[in-house]
Chains A and B, each alone.
Chain A
Amino acid sequence: MGVKLLLEKANVPGIRTYDVYRREGGYATAEKALKEMSIEAIVEEVKKSGLRGRGGAGFPAGMKWSFIAKPEGVPRHLVCNADESEPGTFKDRYLMEFLPHLLIEGLLISSYALGSNDTYIYIRGEYAWVAQILEDAIVEATKNGWLGKNILGTGFDCRIHVHRGAGAYICGEETALIESLEGKRGNPRIKPPFPAIQGLWMRPTVVNNVETLAAIVPIIKLGGEEYAKIGVGRSTGTKLISACGNINKPGVYEIDMTISVEDFIYSDEYCGGIAGGKKLKACIPGGSSVPILPANLLLKTAKGETRYMNYESLSDGGFASGSMMGSGGFIILDEDQCIVKNTLTLARFYRHESCGQCSPCREGTGWMEKILQKIELGKGEMSDIDLLWDIQRKIEGNTICPLGDAAAWPVAAAIRHFRDEFEWHINNRELSQTSNFGLQHYADPIHVPA
């Protein structure tokens, strides 16, 4: 069993309620932080922990906190990004659903460190019942003196508000989230100014992911240095992985980032192997926007070394032969899955979710979907593959926010690693409707895992 810092108590009966959470040692860390630690000391511990943002970008959380402007007389805000919408990702939902008080404790410590008296949880609208769980937990925490005015006699006031979105992937991007929280369309803002200077209502704002904010509790409890000893290199602490697709045991797992990808997929403690005894074909290891990897490059790097479940190892080889940790949405495809069709569903997703602000993304995502649809329906031509490549290249890097890149990468990686499957669809128009390319990529000499 690996180290568990976040989900350690997830299976304790009744842990969702305040009484049980408190009995299990909950809020003791918040008490220590508010009563015994200075704001600077808390920020310092978070910096020392090496915690990287768990939403997908992996930006060091302590550094993000240190950017917040503190102009005299202007309120500051902490916003918790619970707009979890990246296909393959459902870890924040799990955390909020089963351990709402852990998030609230993390929010309380973080709000204190950042000087946020009104903190918002922006939760995706579809998680309506999770929003209710959080609201109930906030009522309990307030009743017990952990939220409200003059918390623990420190003079610090903090209210936490749950704000439901209404169905828009783009609102997971922090400036779009802020626009949405202001009651507008989720159109990302041009940066700079960064939210740390001018964010919500043009006030200094920090936006952090749910898992990042929950991790503040073990960091303050253990101390930043101790936390940083868990994991490896710049992948410190633990990471939640939401595993899905064609595996025996889909679910949310906490790993300490020293486990190999192969062990994660095949061990009974985690994914439990490929469902139905089938063979592994490909994997999208960090949420739908990160590059898909064929089985051979997933388990071993291009240099032939074992690949591990951490930030550095998953991105080893760059986009040529590697991928990314991203949000931790781990999607497994078995031998019966069609790469063209999978890529089509992702292209459709990004077309649907593009806010429409930037032409390369608004137009490009639609074109990519149409071309992929054409190939999938057996009407593709060989030139379509190059056309797709050309379109994705013209989207990447040419938009205000990273949605453009997120839409381009899956298409690029699918062509990069599975061009033969696209060609097969075009050369076998009839056949491609009824059968499937399967594992033909793995003709000798490439090793196909059992």
Chain B
Amino acid sequence: MSLQFNNEQMTEFNRLVARYPEGKQKSALLPVLHLAQDSFGGWLPTEAMDYVAGLLKIEPIEVYEVATFYSMYNLKPVGKFVFEVCQTGPCMVSGSDNIIAYIQKQLAIQPGETTKDGMFTLKLVECLGACGYAPMMQVGKIYREHLTKEKVDAIIAEYRMQVVAQN
């Protein structure tokens, strides 16, 4: 098996499992899947799910049924930055349609697609609990709120710069 947590990730795994009583380690499944997704490139290949099943001593099917149920787990590869734009009522009345159309145009992709350079994925999602700061999107672990066209441009440029700086 090539996918494995490194030492640091394993320490985090042990910390997560220790929150639940003896014999109830399956309770750690959701947090551990988050850890696996963060550790293995932003998505969960079958191999990663099987690895988690082994660590938690549960059947692989118990992991698959959970991973397919919750919307935060990606079952396909995604870009380096995933734009998850809210489209539910409160964001819609605040103009999310225009923002979604603008992002599509700027990145030249449709919802569900990833840019050719593997940088950005666009996902349309349901309410993220930021209705007072609409329109908004989630990128990784943070929320980008009060979106305007100018702000979208700045955010795209910011992430492009980040990658340039890393290389």
A positions within 8 Å CB-CB of B = 75, 84-90, 93, 118, 120, 124-129, 161, 163-169, 180-186, 201, 242-246, 250-252, 284, 288, 329, 331, 333-334, 337, 341-342, 345-346, 348-349, 352-353, 355
The 8 A CB mask of B63-92 against A (1 = contact, 0 = none) is 001100111110000000000000111101
Query: What A residues does B127 contact at CB under 8 A?
Result: 85-88, 169, 288, 349
- Given A201-B24, A245-B93, A331-B89; A353-B126 close (CB under 8 Å): yes
Contacts of B128 in A (CB 8 A): 126
19 cross-chain CB contacts under 8 A: A88-B90, A90-B131, A90-B132, A126-B143, A129-B142, A165-B30, A166-B30, A167-B72, A169-B126, A169-B127, A182-B24, A244-B94, A244-B131, A245-B90, A288-B88, A342-B92, A346-B88, A346-B89, A348-B126
* A contacts with B: majority SS: mixed
**Which chain A residues lie closer than 8 Å to B33 at the CB level?**
166
Bound complex: CA A246 to CA B90 (Å): 9
Whether the Cβ atoms of B133 and A250 lie closer than 8 Å is yes
Q: Which of B26, B70, B125, B129 contacts A90 (CB 8 A)?
A: B129
Q: Is the CB of A126 within 8 A of B66?
A: no
Report Cα–Cα, A185/B67, bound state, in Å: 9
* Contact flag A166-B89 (CB < 8 Å), given A89-B131, A127-B129, A183-B27: no
A201 contacts B21, C-beta separation under 8 Å: yes
In the assembled complex, how far is the CB of residue A368 from the closest CB belonging to chain B, in whole angstroms? 14
Instruction: Scan residues 79-136 of chain B and give those whose CB is less than 8 A from a CB of chain A.
Output: 87-90, 92-94, 125-134
A120 and chain B: residue at smallest CB distance: B19
A337-B93 contact given A125-B72, A161-B19, CB 8 Å threshold: yes
Measured between beta carbons, the chain B residues less than 8 angstroms from A163 are 19, 27, 30-31
CA distance A87 to B129 in the complex (A): 7
Q: Collect the chain B residues with CB atoms within 8 Å of residue A342's CB.
A: 89, 92-93
Residue of chain B at shortest CB distance from A171: B70
Q: Name the distance in Å between B157's Cβ and chain A's nearest Cβ.
A: 23
By beta carbon, the residue of chain A nearest B28 is A183
Known: A120-B19, A251-B132, A342-B92. 10 other contacts (CB 8 A): A88-B89, A90-B132, A125-B34, A127-B129, A128-B141, A163-B30, A183-B58, A185-B65, A244-B131, A288-B88
Question: Would you call B39 an interface residue if the criterion is a C-beta within 8 Å of the partner chain's C-beta atoms?
Answer: no
A90-B130 contact, Cβ under 8 Å, with A167-B72, A201-B21:
yes
Q: Report chain B residues within 8 Å CB of A186.
A: 69-70
Q: How far is the CB of B113 from chain A (nearest CB, A)?
A: 19
Residues of A within 8 A of B94 (CB): 244-246
- Whether, in the assembled complex, B29 has its beta carbon less than 8 Å from a beta carbon of chain A, the answer is yes
Nearest A residue (CB) for B18: A161
- Known contacts A182-B26, A252-B132; decide if A288 and B71 are in contact (CB<8 Å): no
Closest B residue by C-beta to A242: B132
**When the two chains form the complex, which single residue of B28, B56, B131 contacts A331, counting CB atoms closer than 8 Å?**
B131
Residues of B within 8 A of A (CB): 19, 21, 24, 26-31, 33-34, 56, 58, 62, 65-66, 69-73, 87-90, 92-94, 125-134, 138, 141-143
**Given A89-B131, A118-B21, A168:B70 Cβ within 8 A:** yes
CB <8 Å contact, B28 and A87? no
Measured CB to CB, the closest approach of chain B to A435, in angstroms, equals: 16
Nearest Cβ in chain A — how far from B128, in angstroms? Answer: 5
- 3 cross-chain pairs, A with B, having the tightest CB-CB distances, nearest first: A183-B29, A166-B70, A167-B71
Known: A90-B129, A126-B128. A164 touches B31 (CB 8 A): yes
- With a CB–CB cut-off of 8 A, which chain A residues contact B24? 182, 201
Most chain A CB within 10 A, of B26, B65, B93, B133, is at B93
Identity of the chain A residue whose Cβ is nearest the Cβ of B38 in the assembled complex: A128
Q: Are A288 and B89 in contact (CB under 8 A)?
A: yes
Q: Which residues of B contact A349 (CB under 8 A)?
A: 88-89, 126-127
Task: Give the residue among A127, A185, A242, A244 with the most B Cβ atoms within 10 A.
Answer: A244
> Judging by beta carbons under 8 Å apart, are A341 and B30 in contact?
no
Residues of A within 8 A of B31 (CB): 163-164
Which residue on chain A has the smallest CB distance to residue B37?
Answer: A166
Residues of A within 8 A of B90 (CB): 87-88, 244-245, 331
Closest to A128 in B: B141
B131 close to A329 (CB less than 8 A):
yes
A87 touches B89 (CB 8 A): yes
Residues of B within 8 A of A242 (CB): 131-132
Whole-angstrom distance from the CB of B12 to the nearest CB of chain A?
12
In the complex, the answer to whether A164 meets B34 with C-beta atoms within 8 Å is yes
Complexed CA–CA distance, A342 and B126 (Å): 13
Chain A nearest CB from B165 CB (Å) reads 22
Nearest residue, chain A, Cβ from B65: A185
Q: Would you call A88 and B131 a contact (CB within 8 A)?
A: yes
Q: Which residue of B lies closest to A342 (CB)?
A: B89
How many Å from the CB of B54 to the closest CB on chain A? 15
- CA–CA, A348 and B73, complex, Å: 20
Chain A, residue nearest B69 (CB): A185
Residues of B within 8 A of A331 (CB): 89-90, 93, 131
Residues on B with C-beta less than 8 A from A334 are 93
**Contact between chains at B66 and A183 (CB < 8 Å):** yes
